[in-house]
């Protein structure tokens, strides 16, 4: 059976969906003649696009933050690997020295 992931919505998703919904509803209302053309009604698509763009901006910011955190973790892992390698080299040297002293 396929494993389904839960969809997790955050404020950015709501902003993107809400903004696009405003634009789509406005276009549909305008198309069927439900909406006359006062200025504030004509500005609804602009408001919808602004809300959607704000949501996309939030998403991009969060994604960039996650990428930055991953790069920090990778750098930390790289430093730990180098440290481990140095420690292993030291242990190998000590073992070689002990083996030489006991004549093996």
Could you report the per-residue pLDDT of 4-44, keeping only the tens digit for each? Answer: 567 777 777 888 888 888 888 888 887 888 877 776 667 77
- pLDDT for the residue numbered 3: 59
Burial of 30 (C-beta count, 10 Å sphere; 0-12/13-18/19+): middle
Distance, CA of 27 to CA of 45 (rounded, Å): 8
Report which of residues 39 and 80 the model is more confident about: 80
pLDDT band at 77 (very low <50, low <70, confident <90, very high): very high
- Locate 59 and state its tokens: 């998403």
CB 24 within 8 Å of CB 52: no
Nearest to 26 by CA among 11, 4, 42: 42
Question: Token digits for 77?
Answer: 């892992």
């Amino acid at each position: 059976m396929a494993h389904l992931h839960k969809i997790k919505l955050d404020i950015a998703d709501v902003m993107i969906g809400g903004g696009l919904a405003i634009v789509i509803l406005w276009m549909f209302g305008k198309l069927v003649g439900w909406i006359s053309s006062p200025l504030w009604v004509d500005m609804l698509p602009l408001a919808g696009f602004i809300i959607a763009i704000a949501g996309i901006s939030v998403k991009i910011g969060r994604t960039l933050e996650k990428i930055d955190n991953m790069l920090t973790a990778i750098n930390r892992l790289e430093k730990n690997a180098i440290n481990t390698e140095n420690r292993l080299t030291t242990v190998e040297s000590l073992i070689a020295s002990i083996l030489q002293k006991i004549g093996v």
